[in-house]
Amino acid sequence: MASEWYCDLRGKVRGPMSPQDLLELVRDGQVTPTTPVRKNDSKWFRADTVGGLFEAAFRDQSDAWAGSGEDEEYDY
């Protein structure tokens, strides 16, 4: 089963969304390190505890997800 992500944006829950959708929200500044997020049906936790999320979002956009489709080095 693919991961489904949810985030709490100022009291409004957004989701389910894919890991790529979550990355876009980080890039857009909507999800910050302190934003509550959850994966599937887990408890809420801070976005900055998702291993590799912010690193992946802010690396050079030209080679982010460069065709491999693999994200095993990240926790999300």
pLDDT band with cut points at 50, 70 and 90 for residue 2? confident
Looking at residue 76, what is its pLDDT?
A: 65
Is the model's pLDDT at 1 over the cut of 70? no
- Using CB atoms within 10 A of its CB, is residue 71 exposed (0-12), middle (13-18) or buried (19+)? middle
Q: Where are the alpha helices (DSSP H) in the chain?
A: 19-27, 53-58
pLDDT 10s digits, 26-65: 999 999 999 999 999 999 999 999 999 999 998 866 554 5
- Which of the 8 DSSP states describes residue 59? S
pTM for the model stands at: 0.76
Looking at residue 58, what is its pLDDT?
A: 87
Residue type at 16? P
